[in-house]
Every structure is written in structure tokens, then in C-alpha cells.
Structure 1
């Protein structure tokens, strides 16, 4: 059995990366290949899941399969799939709205979100605060992010699912506790004023905070916060704010592509595997909150019960939130100024 798990960075040079994959295919190996286009922090998750799926699939079918990975900011990844630059068989993206955008472009069939359990959401996540050891600035709640002198590391909401989720969580932290939309808008604008730059993706923002030691607090996916703690050997710690957003990463096979590639059966099996007990355990160990409540409860020491408000607390649904906040002339456009890194 050969397992081909190849990481493709969703950055400039995608055409080169794809050319390398075509060369790999021509060398032989697995009988079939899938391309999983995912968001930035899931590198380790699918590194652990893919070999287990490949082993199970080969044992059950006698046919070998290789999984190729592409990672980058969730919204950026969705755009690359939409334009055909990444010929994804499956997408495992950070927000339902990123996947729904592909449906609107005609790449996914109607009812795509009901083809798998839990509305095609094998796990959920949230936004947490990662701070320096000992929490020297006493950051415990969302208003603390606006203290004088605090630099907030947060990804760009135009390219990153983490960036979008952080914006929605910050907004919701105001309005779900009685604040007005004007107060939420003012808070979000002030939050971006505290950001020295806006990285394009979650992982690069985490590197800036935990490795380069820039900033005082990082607004991170929960799994990224847990990973940063482990890798920093105690130099950083997680603060759970009193309330945060329930984020619902979503998966789908891309109908237009699996039809061309002849991979629908394998793509379906791959995504169904994510809901198996084996994969749910891997998901929990990687810091995501599995959809299986019994497995989530087993990992309560690392994934504590916290107050998560749903997207319906601030919008009709994820599609409405995308339009309200992130569409052209939406809320983000009225308060956001691009801040690329200059060094």
C-alpha cells in the first residue's frame, strides 16, 4: 500500500504545485487520488486522519487511494476552488458560507449540506484568546482587548475563516450582552485599530504571535490555541472569554469535480469517515470539538464546556452573516482598513 499525502500551500505558485502533483500521479502509486482543499489550521488534523482512512478504504475495497492536501485562508481557498485553480474533490472549510459560495457558483448540488450528518459539520470550534504566560495584561473578556497599549494579532477577515469568525465573535460579544449594533460597530473598529497588521491566514498569524513573539494577545481558533500552548512549552496560555461564537466548519464533495474525476464514491466515503468514532477521536485529540457528544465529553479536560452563542444570535444564518458583514459595502467594509505586514 502506498499513501500519498501531499501538502499544497494555497499561495502564489499554485500552478507550480499542481504541476508537481501531476508528475507524482504519472509515477504510479495509488489507484485513485483525492484533493482535499482545507483551511489553514487543519494540516495536523488531516495528517492524522488521512492514513487511517486510506488503510480502512483499502482493506474494505482492495483499491488504493492517496489524499492530497491544500491549506490556506478558508475564504481564499474557496475562491481558488470557485475559479478552478484548485480542482478539489472535497472541501473541508472553516465556515458554512465558504462552502455555500461554491454551491452558488454551481459547483455543488442543491441540498449539499444535508448529504452528511450534523448538517455536514463533523466538528465545531470557537475563538479563544492566547496570551503570554501569566497573562501579564489581565486579558479576560472582550473589552480587555481595547486596553491602552494592547496589540491584537488577528487574521484578515477578507481572506481568513479565522479572521471572519473573530469579527463575528467580537460583534456578538457586544450585542448578545445587551449592546447596540452601533456599539458593536465601534468595538470592532477599535479592535482593528489595535491590530498592528492583518495576516492572510490563521497559521501565519499564530506564527507571528507564538514564534516571532509579536503582540499581546492572539484571537485564535481553539485548536490553534491548544497547539500554540503545546509547542511553546508554557510560554503562552489560553483564556476563554465569558462568551464566544460557535463556529461550524463544514465539508462537502464538489459535485462538478468528482463527476469529471470519477471520484464521487471515494469522496463520499472519505467525508463519511470523518463522522466515524475513530475519526471523531482524532478530531478531539487535535483540539476540535467533535460532533459526537460522547466523544466530546471524554475530552472535557482539554475542550471545556463554555458559553457559545450561535450565528443566529447576530444574523439569520451563515449566508446572511456573510452578506451582512463581508459582502461588498458590508459592515466590515465600513470599518476595516487592510493592514499587510511591512517586514
Structure 2
């Protein structure tokens, strides 16, 4: 079995002794080269902060010659951003040989990552998987209130969904959410108290129950609550983050099914546990939006605002959108998504805010201490 690559890094200027989980990130070779790199170079040219004076010379401030960025992100985005960072940095330096962008990564459960930034981790960029985590940084004055308007698609460059990862050949014949309530099925998932992916897992299962039992309100649905109680009773481990849950399922051999994101499931099936697992798409699942934003208080201080803006805008450029699809993320570009329907099939999903209300409401009623999740998970 190929070992899971957990390499991440925070460079020295970002170092914080309280954040011992940060590790060194070694950027691999980019997946997208040739024409894609050329297209990325053209995009970087349009976004580059270097201005040309009237006499035709470059007027670049010295602090923009070697730029260092930190992207603080959620657990299972690390594989995509390793590739995107390499793509962006190469295009940037090829177009501007005297400039160099060094992008470092920090990954963990989404809410813990957001809390680290709120507590002082010097992130230039936050790429999270839950709007409530971004809202917390807005409340702290670290992210601007209009972060959704700063980039296309409400600052969501790609989406995902929740799927079920089972052992090869699907020996327990797991086909949908309701099969996870059977007494012979053991479930692995992250902890909704710390992981945004786990919250999507719970909401995906719960939304399916409301749909299946035709119950309209989640506050008092008798049948859905009973089904979720059975499902949660089968959970044998709540890991801190999605990648830790992957490790429990693939390397530790725990459980019959892992509830995880679509991109993580494909990476496990293709790399981490090739030939050992199968992917099951539920009949009805949840849409996962992955917002991005600049931490302008940090970028202004570091002189990295223009480079950070180019880095985030580049996520909507076609080479990056292609890379997302190759990494089993659903790009916002519908034409690119349509070209990858063989690996990213059409799915029946629901938006969590349409079913459960705003993310603030979701957090305050479902995942707060003593909320609905705690009630249903209680033995």
C-alpha cells in the first residue's frame, strides 16, 4: 500500500510553537504542463503586481522579488494544492525570472485551521470547506466582509460531495446511506466537532433521511432521527480530520465503510489503497462548497497582497480548473466539469443551507455542545 503523504509546511516567518502539527511541504512535479503552463503564464501576466514605468522599465518593489505565501487549508485539499502551487509558482517565475513565489501549506480539520488563523497563524490565504469557518475569520476582522464578491462563483472555485468508500467487491453490499444502519456494518468517519468534512457527512446522511422519509423539518423528524441514531451507533471511530479517518480505514483496517468526500475517495482508490476499495455513490447526497479568501491583514503587512490575489484568481483559470477535475474535484467551469463526467458523474445533491438554514443556524442548533448531533450520537 502506498503511504499517505501528509507532508505540509509552515515557513519560518509563519512559525508558531503552539502549532506543532505543521510539517514541511515538498512540492511535487506539476500535473499540468505544456499548453496548460503557457495558459497559466498568460494569466499570471495579467495579474502580476509588477508595473511598467513610462520609460519601459520594471518598477517592482524589492519585497516583491521573493514572495512567500502561506495557504492554510482543510485536510483533504492538500493533494490538489501541492500540484496547483507548483503550477502557479512555475508560471510566475517563468514569466518574471527575477521574482519567485514560495507557497507553503498547512492542513488539518477545517475548523481547527480557521481557529489557528484566528489565534495568530499568519495565513495569507485560507481555503476552507465550510462557510461558518470563513465567517469566524470575518468576525475576527481577518477576512473582509465582502469575501464572496472578491472572486467568481461566490469565491467557491470548486465543489464536492460525500460518498461511501467500501472494501473491494463491496462484501457488505452497501448501496446507500440507509445500509449504514445495519447491525453488521461498522462505520468510519471524522468528528463533526472538529472536522468540516464530518459535518458534511452528518448533514448528508440526515438530508437523505429527510428526503427518504419525506420529512420536511429537521427540528422534529421522528423517522430520520431514529435512522441517524442507528447510523451513529455503528461509528467505531471519530477521527479529528478526514485524512486521519482515511488512515484508520486504509492503514489500520478499521470498519466496513468510510464516509468521505468524493475527491478523497478517488485518491484512496487510485493511490493510497489501490485495488483494495470501491466507491459507492449514494442516491442522494450533499453539495460541498469550498470557499477561498485572502487574509488581507496579513498580506498588507507582508507586502503580498497582489501576489495572493493572483494566486486565488488563478484558481478560476482553465489550467487550474482542469487540474481540479483531474484531482476529482468538481470545477466551477461547467465545460471542464462536463468533459470529466466519466470520473465526476451527474449526482443528485442538495444544498445544506436550503435544508437546514444558514451555517450559523446549523452550527448553533446541530453541532453546538448539546445540539442535535450530540443528542443523536448519545448511546
Q: TM-score, normalised by structure 1?
A: 0.88
**1:65 matched to which residue of 2?**
101
Alignment gaps of 5+ in structure 2: 1-6, 26-64
**1:27 matched to which residue of 2?**
none
8 Å CA contact 1:141–1:242 kept in 2: the answer is yes
Greater alpha carbon shift after TM alignment, 53-62 vs 88-97: 53-62
**2:194 matched to which residue of 1?**
159
1:183 maps onto 2:183 in alignment: no
**1:297 matched to which residue of 2?**
338
8 Å CA contact 1:34–1:68 kept in 2: the answer is yes
1:131 maps onto 2:171 in alignment: no
Cα distance, 1:123 vs. partner? 0.4
Q: Distance in 1 between matches of 2:147 and 2:349?
A: 26
Greater alpha carbon shift after TM alignment, 319-328 vs 148-157: 319-328
Q: Any idea what the Cα deviations from partners look like across 1:169-192, whole Å, max 9, x if unmatched?
A: 011011133136333333333222
Which aligned pairs between 1:1-343 and structure 2 lie closer than 5 A? 7-8=9-10, 14-15=18-19, 31-61=66-96, 62-84=98-120, 86-177=121-212, 178-179=214-215, 181-231=221-271, 232-336=273-377
8 Å CA contact 1:314–1:321 kept in 2: the answer is no
Q: Any idea what the Cα deviations from partners look like across 1:84-140, whole Å, max 9, x if unmatched?
A: 1x2111001111221111112221112111110001001000110000111111111
Q: Any idea what the Cα deviations from partners look like across 1:208-247, whole Å, max 9, x if unmatched?
A: 1122211000001101100111122221000001000000
Q: Distance in 2 between matches of 1:15 and 1:236?
A: 34
Q: Distance in 1 between matches of 2:342 and 2:23?
A: 44
Q: Which consecutive aligned stretches of 4+ in structure 1 deviate over 6 angstroms post-superposition? A: 17-21
Number of residue pairs matched? 325
Q: TM-score, normalised by structure 2?
A: 0.80
Q: Distance in 1 between matches of 2:179 and 2:281?
A: 13
Q: Distance in 2 between matches of 1:214 and 1:283?
A: 29
Q: Distance in 1 between matches of 2:374 and 2:117?
A: 24
Greater alpha carbon shift after TM alignment, 329-338 vs 70-79: 329-338
What CA RMSD, in Å, does the superposition of the two structures yield over aligned residues?
2.5
Q: Distance in 1 between matches of 2:297 and 2:303?
A: 10
8 Å CA contact 2:9–2:22 kept in 1: the answer is no
State the secondary structure of the residue aligned to 1:153.
strand
Cα distance, 1:261 vs. partner? 1.8
State the secondary structure of the residue aligned to 1:106.
coil
Alignment gaps of 5+ in structure 1: 22-29, 339-343
Q: Which has the larger radius of gyration?
A: 2
Q: Distance in 2 between matches of 1:20 and 1:123?
A: 26
State the secondary structure of the residue aligned to 2:293.
strand
8 Å CA contact 2:167–2:276 kept in 1: the answer is yes
Aligned CA distance change for structure 1 residues 185 and 81 (closer, same or farther; 3 Å): farther
Q: Any idea what the Cα deviations from partners look like across 1:40-67, whole Å, max 9, x if unmatched?
A: 1112111110011112223444421100
